[in-house]
Amino acid sequence: MNPAGRWKEILRPYYLRWIYFPLAPGAEPPAFRLCWRHPFEKLGAGRSAGGPLEAFAGPSHAPDVILYPMTDWHTRIQRSQQLARAFAALGHRVLYLNPHLGRQFDTVPLFDREHRVSCLAGNIAELHVRLPREPVFHHRRLSAAEARIVAAAIERLTERIGPRPALQLVSFPVWMETAGWLRREHGFPVIYDCHDLLEGFPNVAPGLLEAEQDALAAADLVLFSSRFLAEHWLERRPEIEAKMLLVRNAADAWSAGPWLMRVLRNLCLDRVRQRSRRVECPLNEEVAVSDADAAPDAADERRRAVLLWDAVAGLTPLQRGAVVLRYRHDLPYVEIAEQLGKSVDHVGVLLHQALNVLRASPALRAEVLS
């Protein structure tokens, strides 16, 4: 950024609040006011009884979802809100970041540097991170220092509500450095949700268009909202085919349903299994790794379930999704193809490859397939 741009960012928070918004009624975006209608508290404060986070809880086995959106929660309902509500309905705590990075605050940074958090609904919390320059999120990439501030705020929030394994769903490339840092530090996998052709938006900075290509390469899993977007990026980045899924938009509920939640959750558990005290088996039964009190037969079954889960977790996301849909949900090939955005023949190939991998597992041959 050139010196003029830096000075513009430094002065903008004061100019907007002290001059522009007071002299131009209606110029302030409504979302800047609407977000504070929900109960909120300062993130740096200790946990208080009766505060907005008091009721923010979900089942202990469900990983948190950190959702980095492209849109403000308080504008019209779009894909990011749909995803957040779908995860929350399945018992996950959702940490939804406000994308304005301080511009929504009514005070200038000089007098109030505290991050805030509010409870939107049920298991959904909104994190209001305050960056000193309050950058417009679609104008430039965050600096390393800014990305670290966002990551530290997320860490602080998870400490407040009780840390759990988490997966990160990134809907705009400006967040990728933060997500990458948390993946390195905590093992939280990164899913990039490609739901718009960003080059069609004139206000998205060229640097962010370049950052999206980095995001597609770096993500553990890539979601596409349409076949057009998937084909568009496959022509440019064919290597992402092994880690992509098609998840179409839905008006009222996330049409992908629980099967994709399972795929994403498995991806999360792949990353954090070494930190976890419990392991999920393919039949969604939570079992203890060591259970001395179990009957011998039950203990054998549980050991085999853990071995099978370890083998399934080693499959690629597409192979794992095909296996879950076929052998857990008993879907026909045609429906699996529609869910995964692949041809029926490709589904057959995925299942064939997956079964070959499972059959080749020495542990499974000895314990499960014998």
Residues 67 and 138 in one domain: yes
Predicted confidence band at 99 (pLDDT cuts at 50, 70, 90)?
very high
Does a structural domain hold residue 271? no
Q: Which pLDDT belongs to residue 109?
A: 82
Does a structural domain hold residue 105? yes
CB burial readout 357-367, b (16+ within 10 A) else e: bbeebeebeee
Residues 229 and 86 in one domain: yes
DSSP-derived secondary structure letter, 22: H
Check pLDDT > 70 for residue 268: no
Q: Which pLDDT belongs to residue 253?
A: 38
User: Is there a contact between 84 and 99 (Cβ–Cβ < 8 Å)?
Assistant: no
Q: How far apart are alpha carbons 339 and 46 in whole angstroms?
A: 44
Check pLDDT > 50 for residue 277: no
Residues 195 and 56 in one domain: yes
User: Is there a contact between 102 and 13 (Cβ–Cβ < 8 Å)?
Assistant: yes
Predicted confidence band at 241 (pLDDT cuts at 50, 70, 90)?
confident
Residues 79 and 132 in one domain: yes
Predicted confidence band at 274 (pLDDT cuts at 50, 70, 90)?
very low
Residues 36 and 120 in one domain: yes
Q: For residue 220, which of 274, 259, 263 has the smallest C-alpha distance?
A: 263
> What tens digit of pLDDT does each residue of 148-204 get?
999 999 999 988 888 888 889 999 999 999 999 999 998 888 999 998 898 888 889
Residues 133 and 73 in one domain: yes
Q: Which pLDDT belongs to residue 61?
A: 65
More confident residue, 54 or 80: 80
CATH of the domain at 281: 1.10.10.10
Lowest mean pLDDT among 81-85, 101-105, 215-219: 81-85
Rounded to the nearest 10°, the torsion over CA 42, 45, 46, 48 is -50
Number of domains in the chain: 2
Rounded to the nearest 10°, the torsion over CA 168, 83, 157, 63 is -60
What is the pLDDT averaged over residues 234-242? 86
Residues 235 and 281 in one domain: no
| CA diameter of the chain | 78
Check pLDDT > 90 for residue 244: no
Residues 187 and 325 in one domain: no
- Could you tell me what percent of the chain has a pLDDT over 70? 76
Check pLDDT > 70 for residue 345: yes
| Tokens, residue 176 | 């990728």
> What tens digit of pLDDT does each residue of 58-86 get?
555 678 899 999 989 998 888 888 888 88
Residues 80 and 208 in one domain: yes
More confident residue, 80 or 247: 80
The length of the chain in residues reads 370
Residues 93 and 219 in one domain: yes
Q: For residue 138, which of 86, 70, 49 has the smallest C-alpha distance?
A: 70
Predicted confidence band at 285 (pLDDT cuts at 50, 70, 90)?
very low
Please count the CA atoms within 13 angstroms of the CA of 139 that sit on its side-chain side.
11
Full residue range of the structural domain in which residue 226 is found: 29-265
CATH of the domain at 127: 3.40.50.2000
Check pLDDT > 80 for residue 115: yes
Q: How far apart are alpha carbons 67 and 192 in whole angstroms?
A: 10
The top-scoring range by mean pLDDT among 83-87, 180-184, 237-241, 260-264 is 180-184
Residues 204 and 343 in one domain: no
User: Is there a contact between 73 and 127 (Cβ–Cβ < 8 Å)?
Assistant: no
Check pLDDT > 60 for residue 289: no
Query: Final residue of a domain: which of 265, 286, 317?
Result: 265
